[in-house]
A = this chain, B = another copy of it.
């Protein structure tokens, strides 16, 4: 490292990666730290969880993305603390990394609102491991249902509950409904399309609360056409290995999936600064926490004012624009300007035919919206090769209703059952 300012970026998600790329021509040295070797296209993670795509289709090695950016190096390590007074980042491998300027983009995990014991029964979907674990759970439930002779147990094995009616929950419920009710039924001998139940639970009065009401209604009716039972205004009160309880109703289900809440990474603890209920660091309009002129917090880690008394949502476009914004401020050499989010529209997809898009004045739904959604997602996928493969995979799945990545990996331990004879 030379005498140029050293910019350290924590996290290579949408925010961190966009900041790093935007600094490629700046007169600084950049170090990008992530505990993973890959950047993950999280909006498509639900497709890995439902066996439509392989992990490598939506992930690319960070080094590879930045291989030609000479002022940047990539470190595979986990951040454990920051000393803002000494300007040091501490990592799990025992490194103390000195910085002149710090960009914190460490993202968020799912949160069980204090009921962490639910995580064992209702996994969330934030990482590749999460997604393959959910895929495993869903596919194993179908396998077990195929041979289960007890009708109540069989019904519970074929009931899938998704908790949370935001974009992830809606997309997940639609994809599971297609997988369990359409794609695989021909492969099984005893599972027919109408055997399976998919239940989507949300505590609010409508799905996709961030969208205009008419689109919420469209999303709900599209899901219901796919056979999803939508339960609104219900709070989950208990989750066990084979039930999900909401108020009075107990839904027997072996497969619950959590898409309800997020908890920011512990950046506010490292920086000893104020945060909101979800642990997001409260930042000013220039994306800095109070009292730190050389630290920026962006993406899901930040609670950033939206200029209308609220906060910006935790979505990829916000994180990417924030990354570019702070990179520009650093490249200019310090003069900061307020960040203004420019929304190009808000999208969510439902199965292989429907999507809803909110462009502000224009609202789309149905097949046209789905096609636009597909093109947009393929376009934004990092790396040229991924775009081709994902595009082909989608086309193939669309034409055949196939699910090409239906692998159960990891230990497959059948549940112990009573001795029984199959002749």
Contact = CB atoms under 8 A, between A and B. Distances in A.
Given A98-B422, A412-B76, A423-B98, A61 B406 contact: yes
Interface in A81-99: 91-98
A417 interface: yes
A417 to B, nearest CB: 5
Interface stretch (A183-191, A264-272, A331-339): A183-191
Interface in A158-206: 184, 186-189
B385 A56 contact: no
Given A97-B422, A418-B94, A406 B37 contact: yes
Main secondary structure of the interface of A (DSSP, over half): mixed
Interface stretch (A108-116, A214-222, A370-378, A388-396): A388-396
Contact of A55 (B64, B91, B139, B409): B409
**Copies of this subunit:** 2
A95 B412 contact: no
A405 interface: yes
Contact of A96 (B184, B188, B420): B420
Given A37-B412, A55-B409, 20 more contacts: A1-B422, A31-B422, A54-B57, A54-B405, A56-B407, A59-B407, A63-B184, A64-B402, A64-B406, A75-B146, A78-B412, A93-B416, A94-B418, A94-B420, A95-B417, A96-B420, A96-B422, A385-B400, A385-B404, A388-B396
Q: Please name the 5 residue pairs, one residue from A and one from B, whose CB atoms are nearest each other, closest first.
A: A93-B414, A63-B187, A56-B405, A54-B54, A76-B143
Interface of A: 1, 6, 31, 35-38, 54-57, 59, 61, 63-64, 67, 73, 75-78, 91-98, 128-129, 132, 139-140, 143-144, 146-147, 184, 186-189, 385-386, 388-389, 392-393, 396, 400, 402, 404-410, 412-423
